[in-house]
Amino acid sequence: MLTEGSFQSSAVPADLVERCWKKAATPLDWGLSPEQFRLLLERSVAQRFGGKQPDTKTIQAYCDTLHLTDLALAGACSAGGAAAWDFFVAQYRPELYRAARTIAGDSIGRDLADSIYADLYGLRESQGRRNSLFDYFHGRSKLGTWLRVILAQRHIDEFRRTRRMQPLAEDSAKEQPEGVPATKQSPAKDPHDPERNKFLAMLQVTLSRVLLELNPRERLRLAYYYVDELTLAQIGRLLSEHEATVSRKLDRTRQEVRKRVDTALLEDKNLSEAQLRLCYEYAREEWPFDLTGVLSSRQ
């Protein structure tokens, strides 16, 4: 979302703004005004030069290196332009899916790609405006390249997060004989753990109850995505919602479900934090639950 006070302004000469506007070629098709485009250029210049005021020749040389059409598209999407979003989805969704599969593999690549739509649209609000991930795109690289970097970083962050949740075996820090690899087997990997079945049953009952407590539209959205395996665009057409709205609401529902399950297991079942991690660790090894019946309850 573009506003005058959202960054430190670095004046871009009017004739340079006009030249860049013409070079970008298509902003008007996406509902982007010349004034919004000027703000995009000034934000990019301010970010590049750290708030310093470069001379006109330096600004011109910098603007000549920018991917101006991509910058205009990102700005129009950040502003919520429907035409811009339609173009972005048609142009970049296939590329996002291909990149995500390359980064994370076929099994989770689709979820990785879909997960960034909510942040691109702007999931959180601050001072009455959405904070879009597009606001961090300054046109210095191609938009497709920037999106692939975002996907890769998101995948790395998730990998690190899950690794932090894996408890180390008690003897993992002990010195090993030279030439013998250390063993770092988590208790969650032990199939003979007597707590395993109890924790899995507890998690399944709690998760099923939380899903049934969702409002029908939230449950329907989850069913379309996880049971019917529809794309965000297909779900949007069925529910008369924008594709980005579907992604945003799915993300919120997933966060709410996780929060409710955590609370129920910690407070109602009196599990410790370590036991809660074990519940998820057991389930993560090989998802043992068939929640089709719960999510298919679409009344």
Beta-bridge partner residues of 43: none
The long-range contacts involving 259-264, CB below 8 angstroms and separated by at least 24 positions, are 260/210, 260/213, 261/203, 261/206, 261/207, 261/210, 264/206, 264/209, 264/210
**pLDDT, tens only, 160-184:** 665 544 443 333 343 333 333 343 3
Closest CA to 261 of 178, 205, 197: 205
Instruction: Kindly report the average pLDDT of the chain as a whole number.
Output: 78
Q: Rounded distance, CA 262 to CA 271, Å?
A: 9
Q: Rounded distance, CA 43 to CA 10, Å?
A: 7
Question: Is the pLDDT reported for residue 286 higher than 60?
Answer: no
DSSP letters for 225-236: IIIS---HHHHH
Helix runs in 105-168, H state only? 106-121, 143-164
Closest CA to 110 of 237, 284, 234, 259: 234
List of E strands, the chain: 125-126, 129-130
Question: Is the pLDDT reported for residue 75 higher than 90?
Answer: yes
Residue 228, both tokens: 């019917």
Of the candidate ranges 85-89, 185-189, 287-291, the one whose mean pLDDT is the lowest: 185-189
The pair phi, psi for residue 44, each rounded to 5°, is -65, -45
Q: Rounded mean pLDDT of 2-27?
A: 70
Beta-bridge partner residues of 125: 130
What local confidence, expressed as pLDDT, does residue 27 receive? 58
**pLDDT, tens only, 104-145:** 777 788 888 888 887 888 755 555 566 788 999 999 888 988
Q: Rounded distance, CA 55 to CA 22, Å?
A: 22
Contact 51, 8 (CB under 8 A): yes
Name the pTM for this structure: 0.54
What local confidence, expressed as pLDDT, does residue 227 receive? 75
Residue 55, both tokens: 């001379």
One-letter identity of residue 14: A
